[in-house]
Amino acid sequence: MTTTNEVFIGIDVGKTWLDVALWGEDSVWRVSNDESGAAEIIERMEKVGPQLIAVEATGGYEQLLVQSMLLKELPVAVINPTRVRALSKATGKLAKTDAIDARLIAEYACKIQPPVLAAKESNKILLNGLITRREQLVEMCTAEQNRLGTASNCMKGDIREHIDWLKSKTLELEMQIKELVDSLPEWQAQAKRLESIPGVGFITAVTAISEMPELGQLDRQKIAALAGLAPFNRDSGQKHGKRRIFGGRKGIRRVLYMACLSAAKWNPVIKSLFQRLMQKGKIFKVAITACMRKLLTIMNAMTRDKVSWKAPEPFSV
């Protein structure tokens, strides 16, 4: 392997394996997708000194490796596999194996050079892990509650016991999250600012801190796009399709949705927007999405200006 500053690495991520390729070389090496595999990759990367390491996003299987490399301050970018496949089609590379994908990701890293993730402190990584685990428990609890209505009587007791356990574990995680946030003055101050918004609770605030570190640094259009709340045109020639949202960070959208259900009743700005859209005949889904976008915009402006909530709107959004 070369040791120049123009080294680009591509890593194809699977549940069990990680396939690593260096742009410009045919060889691809494989390690297990666990702590020992991540340690081996990091050891090699520190010797190589790459300009960029591109890792394919695979719904969470990449997190251990990415977080481990971030702790070592390696230049990592997590890329959307759809964009990598678009590059493969554009260059006529239609075959698909793990090794081919790893080389293609390395090519994407070299030609596109996606932005490097900001280095995260260990506390930030811990917060992400706690919030992710809490979301998983909430989803499992919801699934069990849905099953309860159709389960046979002999199974209802078992399901209720599992629901109680899930709720207790969720509360434990929330206590750990609060202790972590309270231990860091900057996070504590930001969480309190966001919690001052009617409809925004502690979990919404800390999820925003964790999943949207760009809050206060981007304009409202870009921050909405990052969250997957910006509608995109679907026009071609004479055809004008409906504008739709897609992509983005589903974790922040989930908590914003729950926050807006409350804000539509108690937050004067969100309530006014929601009622106005419903009176215009907009369907609920469209109205609540607009409210989520507005609430995120308010959170972005308050973070930027470092102010707490004062009705109706004391700042420009």
The pLDDT value recorded for residue 94 is 73
- Contact present, 56 and 13 (Cβ < 8 Å): yes
The pLDDT of 104-120, averaged and rounded, is: 86
The pLDDT value recorded for residue 267 is 94
Q: Highest mean pLDDT range out of 58-62, 116-120, 130-134, 164-168?
A: 164-168
pLDDT at 126 exceeding the cut of 50: yes
Rounded Cα distance between 17 and 97, Å, is: 13
The pLDDT value recorded for residue 3 is 43
The pLDDT value recorded for residue 314 is 47
The pLDDT of 75-101, averaged and rounded, is: 84
Q: CA distances (Å), 308 to each of 48, 189, 194, 195, 301, in order?
A: 47, 10, 7, 9, 10
**Which of 172 and 63 is assigned the larger pLDDT?**
172
Q: What is the overall mean pLDDT for the chain?
A: 87
Residue type, 171: L
The pLDDT of 265-273, averaged and rounded, is: 94
The pLDDT of 222-249, averaged and rounded, is: 65
**Which of 49 and 71 is assigned the larger pLDDT?**
49
- Contact present, 151 and 159 (Cβ < 8 Å): yes
Q: Highest mean pLDDT range out of 20-34, 108-122, 218-232?
A: 20-34
**Which of 315 and 167 is assigned the larger pLDDT?**
167
The pLDDT of 26-30, averaged and rounded, is: 90
Percent pLDDT > 90 in the chain is 58
- Under the banding of pLDDT at 50, 70 and 90, the label for residue 122 is low
**Which of 174 and 225 is assigned the larger pLDDT?**
174
- Under the banding of pLDDT at 50, 70 and 90, the label for residue 45 is very high
Among the ranges given (44-58, 83-97, 250-264), the one the predictor scored with the smallest mean pLDDT: 83-97
The pLDDT of 212-217, averaged and rounded, is: 89
The pLDDT value recorded for residue 1 is 41
Task: Give bridge partners of residue 239 from the DSSP assignment.
Answer: 236
The pLDDT of 231-238, averaged and rounded, is: 52
The pLDDT value recorded for residue 255 is 93
**Which of 80 and 33 is assigned the larger pLDDT?**
33
The pLDDT value recorded for residue 247 is 57
